[in-house]
Structure 1
């Protein structure tokens, strides 16, 4: 299992709006400051932690040869006329 760190974008956007209004910044400047604050955050206010299981590999078996026969029959019968 891996621990994934994600950020609460809603809180970061609200902080950026607050910074923009209080400090008379552009939205770009406010977002830059808000993201830097979120990354430096030691209280984990802006972070969401998830534990994810590794993806199962080869869980779905599919044989392309089965599809090839039906496609060649479809196109060779003259049913397909183009788009």
Structure 2
């Protein structure tokens, strides 16, 4: 059982009270050791803030990703 399944609704709402807090948490989950391009493994990126989400583009191969690409939450925002 993960720590989030044990978390009360109030605790969850406090920890993830903003979209930014949710985004930061998902970034850390996806790239725990820092950003790494899913296509070429390069570790630097350009960040673009779009209307709906932050977009990360690899500086080497230009592959674009979000924190939800490749997860069950892909295409939900």
Could you say which TM-score interval applies, normalised by the shorter chain? under 0.3
The TM-score with structure 1 as length reference comes to 0.25
TM-score by length of 2: 0.26
- Asked which structure has the greater RCO (Cα within 8 Å, sep 6+), the reply is 1
Rg larger in structure: 1
Greater helix proportion: 1
